[in-house]
Structures are given as C-alpha cells and as structure tokens.
A and B are shown apart, each in its own frame.
Chain A
C-alpha cells in the first residue's frame, strides 16, 4: 500500500491537530508527523468526518507550523514489537529504548490496544501470592491474576510498598518464571530512579521490562504507556508462560492526560471535568489482567494512584475501585504514627481473597481468623473514637479491651520492616496471639474447632 502523505494541516489545538482534504483514512489509525527539521512525532486518529481528520499527538504539538508539517498515515494502529529480549530493558513512554543497548529485533508486532479476553476463556484466579506483608497476606490477600490497586496520597510510601511487594512476592512451594513489567506515567525522576535502583540492586532488573514517562515528558504520551506495558505483559504471560506482575504508577496522571484531550475536544465533561468515558477507558487497561484457561502464565496488576486530597470518592479512585478486584488504601494517620506499611486495613479489600486462602492454600483457620481480626479491629477503632470524645474512663470494660487490641494490632500485625518478609504462618500466628487478649465468647466468627486448635497453641 502506498503511504498517504498530506500537507493540509488546518489547525492545532493543545494536543490535537486537524487535517483537511484527506481520503481513505480510518478511525484509530496511526499517523506520523514530519517537521521540517526531520523530527517525527506520532499521532492517532480520534475522529474522521468526510475529508477531515482529527489527530491526537502523543508527543505534543509545540513547534509545529501548519504549512510546513507533513502528515503520513500508516494504515494501522500503534504497534509495539515484542520479543523475549525485552527483559532487562528500559524504554520511554512510547516504547523507544532509553538505555544504550541495541535495538530489539521484534518477534512480532502487536497492536497496543489488545483485544478483550473472552469471559469464557478466563480461568478464575485462585493461587495465593505471599507478599510477606501481613496486612496484605493475612487480611487482604493477593492472588495471581488479580488487579489490586494501591490508593495512596502524596507523601505516602506507596513506592516503597510496591517495590517491597515486587521484591518479596512468591507463590508457596513453587519455583516458576516470574517477571515484572513496570510502567511509570508522569512520576518524577527520583521516584523512577528509586524503582530502577531497587530492581538493579536485587537483580530483578534481569526479568523486568520498564517503560518510563516522567513528569516532564509529554503528558499525552501517557495514554500509550500503560497499553505498551500491558502488550508486553500479555506476550510474556500468555505466550511465554511467565507470571507477570504489572506495576502502573501513577494512574492519576494518566487520567489527567485523558482529561486534557477531552477538554481540547470540547466534550461534555462528566464529574470534575473528567470525560464520561473514563470508566470504560480505565477498564480497557485494568481488565488486561487475569488468567486464561490452558495457559500457564498470568498477569497480576498493581496500579498505584494518588487520591487528590486523600479523597476516596474522587472520580479516579472511585471508578478504579469499581473495576479492580479490591484496593489497598494507605492511611496518612498511620503514616504519621510511624507505622510502615501504613495500610488502612478496614477500607482495604481483596475481592478474590476467599478463593485463594484456607485449607490446602494457606491454612484452614485463615478465613475465620481474618474475619475475626477485621471485626475486632473495627470495634477497637470505634472504641477509640468514643474515647476521644468522652475520655477512656467512660468506656465499658470490653470496649477498653478492644481499644487495647486495636493498638497492639497496629504495632505488632501491621507494622513491619521494609526488608522483612513474613511467612504466612507467622502472620497468622501473630493474629492468634493478638486475639488472646479478648474473651473467648467474643470470638464469634471463628469455628469452635479452630479456636481449640490454634488459640492456645
């Protein structure tokens, strides 16, 4: 096919470009804009109407002159070349190598938008991942193929937590091919450097693929970054049988880039100016996790997003929570008390937990114990609120026990070191030892047989 080339750019507005007099252009196809200097930029067709085309430029529109720019259409969508050699490499947000290593010889080129997995082809995630972090393993357990985001706020240690999870995660009793795909969107150099240094220090870099779009890189590029990363993840997981952990950080910057395009198009905004299709758009990213029947690999996603003003009802965390299978929420007040990881376990949730824990998976008492710890901690927090208003003296005896429990729980169960990987059995045993401080009659959520077996072990 002959490449069509046009010099009929009629306008530029923010990240958008308008071209006239075109023919045969298809919705969604990729275009290349060539500047007089020879510099090229990539763009995607957002709308076609008659002979007019609306393009969205990934690298921004600065320095473009309407009469000098040439536009070439590629006749296909944005693709990324995949190969096993990608492991150990670092790319920018649009998939160009950032390290000085040679170009990749691609095994094949894949459209970065992927295709939805047929729901009948999905295998239900049920393999427990031991992250070595009690607040996650014990109460909000992660399983292979799950998408579990971290809801954080500015200044909270979400990066350290994500790096720790990437370092320590393993499936009990198995040695398998494990890899990390890391996509940074709009984070600072220091944050990105933290991950890269940590991956290098632990040797994890050898089995990682990194895509880095920093905060001073073009914002629109971020639209493509997670899709590039997931395309690689799908290749490694479902064609090369690897177990891939995908870390996407920070999804808030991604959503803001989306908003920028929507605003430039004068679309009717949804909540807080975000486009009304934000849910669908995020879903096309988050749903690219899971397992497929008959294929040994898996994609586990851990997106990180910072909640503006720590507000969980902000559209980005809100819509994310409706798509993902739970969330790990970080708490500023725990962080101020010096508790690491500052995971607020009550509003945190892992929807797939119950399929991954219990008999033959972790331990038979795990589901009951987790439920009891939740209930007791919730009561303790309530008692604490009461004590703040009325003073500790006004609490009943039992409330005082719960208050004590919740404090101990934070100090002994949640608190741990950044390099401390706790075995699941240890996590559960800490839970049991904490419950000893409560009267047995209060432990209603635990079956009699487990109480006998574990409480006074």
Chain B
C-alpha cells in the first residue's frame, strides 16, 4: 500500500499534512523524501498533525507524507540486552558504524540484529496445549540472562511443531495453533502489555544505598521519584541504583539529559561486574539515550519505548528496574508539542493531560502474574528523576508525580553544598512500601529491622528540633541528654547516611551490614544514655571513649567480615561497663 498525503505546514518538530483521510491516531508516518519518522497526534478532517522524531529542517509544503498504517512499535526478542538505543529504538551503536560520529536523519536500521543466530532450546513438546504468554523455549541472550521465548499474545492452542538449534530471530521456531512463531515480536509502545493478575509488592528492591534501603525503601514492582534542583545528585543516585539494584534487568532511560553522562554509563558499566556471576553489568542492561540536543519528539517517545521493553522482560518472570532520568524533560517535550498545536495550556504551560500521562506511565509498573498457564510472576519497578525549575516542589510535574508514586526521595541542595551525598533529606522523604516489605525484612534480615529504623528516624527528628533551639538561644542551654542525642544523630548522619558513590568500599552496602551498622550505633546511644542518666557520668568522658572513633568507620568494614560487628559490640559493652 502506498497511501500518501502532502505537507502544508512545518513548525519545528510539528508538521501538518493534508490528504490524510486513511490515517489513524498514533499511526507512524514517513515524512518527506528522506522518510523521517513521525507519529500522528491529532486528526482534523483530512488534516493530520504529525510529531516528527527527527530534525525537520529542509521540509516544506508539498513534500510527501507516507502512511504506514501501523502504530509506533518496538521490536522484542534476543539482542536487546547490552544495546543502546535512541528514543524510538534505533541502535546508536550500529548507526555510528554506518554513518559516523554524528546522528543523521532518515535512517532505517533494524532495532535487533537480523543475521545473528541464537541457540534456541525448546521447553515444551509437540502436542502440548499452550496459552498466550506461556514459555516456549529459551535462548542464552547473555551469560547473565536467559531470554525466554513466549507464546505471543492472542495465540492459544496445540504445539504443532517445535524446533531446536540455531536460528535468526526471523526464522520459524515453532508452530502453535496453525500459526508460525518466531523469536522476533513487536509491540505498540503506547499500549501496556497485558498480564493475568496484579499483586501488591512484598520484597524490597535492594539498592545498596543505605538511606534508601534502610530508611526509604522501594519495593520490587513499586514506584519512586527523586526530585531535586540541579547539582543535588539525582543522576549519581540513579546510576548507583542501576549498578547495584538486585533486579535481574535494568532499563536505563536517559531522557533529554547530558551526552557525557550517557558516555559515562557506556564506559563505566562494562567495567563493573555483577557480584554473583562476575559478568559485566551491561549484560543485564538496556540503555535508551535521547540526549537533550537530540530531537524533542523522540524524547517524548523514549519513556514508552523503555517501559515496553521492561514489561517484556517482566513477562518472562524477571524483576526489572526501570530508571528514567529525567521525566521533567519528557514533560517538557509534551509541552513543546502541545504549544505548537496551540492547545489550551494548563499550569506553567503544560498541557491539561499532563497528570493522566504521568499516571499512565507509572501505573505500568507493578508485580504481576503473566498471562501464561503456569502462573509465572515478574515485577517492573519504575524510578523517575524530576528536575523542577529552581528545585521548586510545587512544579506541576513534581506534583503530578507525587500523586502516583509511592516513594519520595527528596533531594536537598543544602546537603549537596556540604557534599553530604546522597543528598536525600531524611525528614521530608517518605516510603509507602514499608508495610509491604516489613515481613520480608523481619524474616530475611533482622527481626528488629522496622524498630531500628523507627528509632533512628526519631533521633534525627529530635535533632532537628534541638538544633532549632540552639539556633534561637545558643548551645549552652540544652540539656546533657540532648547533647548526647546530637552526637548520636551526627553519627547517624555522617557515618551511616553519608555514602560515597566514588569510594570502592563504600559504594555498596548489603542489607545485613546496613542493619548491623544501625544496630551498633543505636546500641551505643542506649548504653551511653544509661551511663549519663543512671550512673551520672560526665558526658565529656563518655564521648571520649575509644570505641567512638571506631563507630565512625563502620562503613569501611568489609562485607566478607561482618563478624567484626560482634567484636565491636563486645568492645562497646566492655568500655561502657568499665567506665566508672
């Protein structure tokens, strides 16, 4: 079919065309003789409004617009991992091989390699009855991840044939209910992939970051946002999560951000090793990079491209973590296109449907049971950075995001100025996943984990109050008891919450070590309070105990040697006992 219309207007990334009677909303079209990729976002009679995913310079009235009759889709199949794509899933690595160091226009390069052969191992037998979403077989996509080939949505029935061996993604590997099945499938990015049942999250997404895991945890299948002004360390936190999170698959979307940051991820991740298998972390990672100087409309599409790929791995039964940096840039792309269509603006010029779109994105996260008959469960967690102007949390994107996400990590530029990183404020952040994962923590880590956390936060809360008093009337007025509390709060802040992403030993802390650190600091508080209040020992002498210096260096105790905590506990008790 070769239906085509004609351009009548070009204004930045927005093109209007006539003669588009056959077009459907959200269909992909090819614009101009260079066949730039665009998507229809509004139809008025025979006029179509098209957002173009590439630079539109050189287009003009009279140029053709070709209809494809298909929505914007991503290609799914082995070969996704270890790739880096632009916002509409064009492989940046292969683009560079073909046209050099700069991004060009009108390129059509397959998202997944067509010639590569994959070794397919069937997991079902001929004659078996299968449902959509059932696992047909597997392929070793990378040494870290086994790619499961699923029966595509809409196909149910008997396995009529199934092959074993080496195939490309376009070759037939099985026939179910009379239909050929290949490893390659496609899915429209704007439609969530279906599942059988959605469940409440129960396990934490462990990130190795102490303030996150211990204080404001996010659950597998949950949602979190991290808003903050520039320079407060959003990107570093997100990179650390991408490196250390205990999910099997990471989808990292660099949406309208810095080119050098993507280069950092690209150069750094291959050097980092998965702690268990010692394989490079890139083997579990998919990167979507649409930097700030790449076309705006593709930025809008990038988060959908990313989340669709995430859902695909979730359906295989994996825990997937999706990280989007930054959703503000996505919202701005939405605003720019909306402005050019002369829509009535809502708050701050953002379109009135901003809230619906934000919610629609985060609601695609979750812990689910897939469509198949075996009840395979997987999860997709979504974590988004928000970059509000001037760090102002009343920004519409922040507000709309807070309405839907369950975890809020509030970045504080005052902490960042002191180089206290991660600069997550412990008083204003929150996590609504605490009750979900409480059972898990008690069972797997420490029976008293929730109580320890509560105690620590109480101390920090009290610290803020006491400091307020100090600010008003001076330090000499506060009681000895509060002075001790200030010292312990300082331990919590500087020796527990402060964590350096650039220090090899400090970058990652296991959950068990985190709670041992907390336990020891809080125990010292208990014992010192006893000395101060019951035995009446002078505060100066308590604070001069040699163990105090060791308590400040707990983060450097190696993960292999957690028994050192027992020794320190003994030492602490001994020193306290001997102090007369």
List the interface of chain A (C-beta within 8 A of B): 23-29, 46-51, 77, 113-125, 145-146, 238, 267-271, 276-277, 279-280, 283-284, 287-288, 290, 292-293, 295, 312-313, 315, 318-319, 321-323, 325-327, 346-347, 349, 351-352, 354-355, 367, 371, 374-375, 378-379, 386, 389-390, 394-396, 399, 441, 444
Indicate if the CB atoms of A24 and B263 lie closer than 8 Å.
Answer: no
Indicate if the CB atoms of B291 and A287 lie closer than 8 Å.
Answer: yes
**Shortest Cβ distance from residue A92 to the other chain B in the assembled complex, whole angstroms:** 24
Indicate if the CB atoms of A444 and B552 lie closer than 8 Å.
Answer: yes
Known: A26-B58, A49-B8, A279-B329. A120 touches B266 (CB 8 A): yes
Within 8 A of A (CB), among B283-312: 289, 291-294, 296
Binds A, one of B136-144, B362-370, B412-420: B412-420
Indicate if the CB atoms of A394 and B476 lie closer than 8 Å.
Answer: yes
Indicate if the CB atoms of B417 and A346 lie closer than 8 Å.
Answer: yes
- Complex CA gap A146/B503 in Å reads 23
Known: A116-B291, A119-B266, A375-B418. A48 touches B336 (CB 8 A): no
- Complex CA gap A121/B97 in Å reads 10
Indicate if the CB atoms of B349 and A125 lie closer than 8 Å.
Answer: no
Indicate if the CB atoms of A271 and B471 lie closer than 8 Å.
Answer: no
- Complex CA gap A24/B416 in Å reads 54
Query: 10 new A-B pairs (CB below 8 Å) besides A280-B336, A346-B418?
Result: A25-B61, A26-B10, A27-B56, A47-B10, A120-B95, A313-B389, A374-B417, A375-B419, A378-B419, A386-B471
Q: Which residues of A contact B57 (CB under 8 A)?
A: 26-29, 77, 113
Q: Which residues of B contact A441 (CB under 8 A)?
A: 549
Residue among B58, B60, B263, B417 making CB contact with A347, cutoff 8 Å:
B417
8 contacting pairs across A/B (C-beta < 8 A): A24-B60, A25-B61, A29-B57, A113-B57, A115-B104, A325-B258, A371-B419, A374-B417
**Shortest Cβ distance from residue B368 to the other chain A in the assembled complex, whole angstroms:** 32
**Shortest Cβ distance from residue A323 to the other chain B in the assembled complex, whole angstroms:** 6
Is B557 an interface position by the 8 A CB rule? no
Within 8 A of A (CB), among B388-426: 389-392, 413, 416-420
Indicate if the CB atoms of A119 and B291 lie closer than 8 Å.
Answer: yes
Indicate if the CB atoms of B392 and A287 lie closer than 8 Å.
Answer: no
Closest partner residue, chain A, to B328 (CB atom): A322
Indicate if the CB atoms of B264 and A124 lie closer than 8 Å.
Answer: yes
- Complex CA gap A441/B416 in Å reads 23
Closest partner residue, chain A, to B416 (CB atom): A349
**Shortest Cβ distance from residue A75 to the other chain B in the assembled complex, whole angstroms:** 9
Indicate if the CB atoms of B9 and A118 lie closer than 8 Å.
Answer: no
**Shortest Cβ distance from residue B570 to the other chain A in the assembled complex, whole angstroms:** 23
**Shortest Cβ distance from residue A30 to the other chain B in the assembled complex, whole angstroms:** 11
Is B103 an interface position by the 8 A CB rule? yes
List the interface of chain B (C-beta within 8 A of A): 8-12, 16, 56-62, 84, 92-93, 95-96, 100-104, 229-231, 254, 256, 258-260, 262-264, 266-267, 289, 291-294, 296, 329, 332, 335-336, 339, 345, 348-349, 387, 389-392, 413, 416-420, 470-471, 473-476, 494-495, 500, 502, 549, 552
Q: Which residues of A contact B259 (CB under 8 A)?
A: 116-117, 119, 122, 287, 290
- Complex CA gap A347/B498 in Å reads 18
Q: Which residues of A contact B291 (CB under 8 A)?
A: 116, 119, 283, 287
- Complex CA gap A47/B292 in Å reads 22
Q: Which residues of A contact B294 (CB under 8 A)?
A: 116
**Shortest Cβ distance from residue A195 to the other chain B in the assembled complex, whole angstroms:** 27
**Shortest Cβ distance from residue A60 to the other chain B in the assembled complex, whole angstroms:** 23
Residue among A115, A367, A374 making CB contact with B102, cutoff 8 Å:
A115
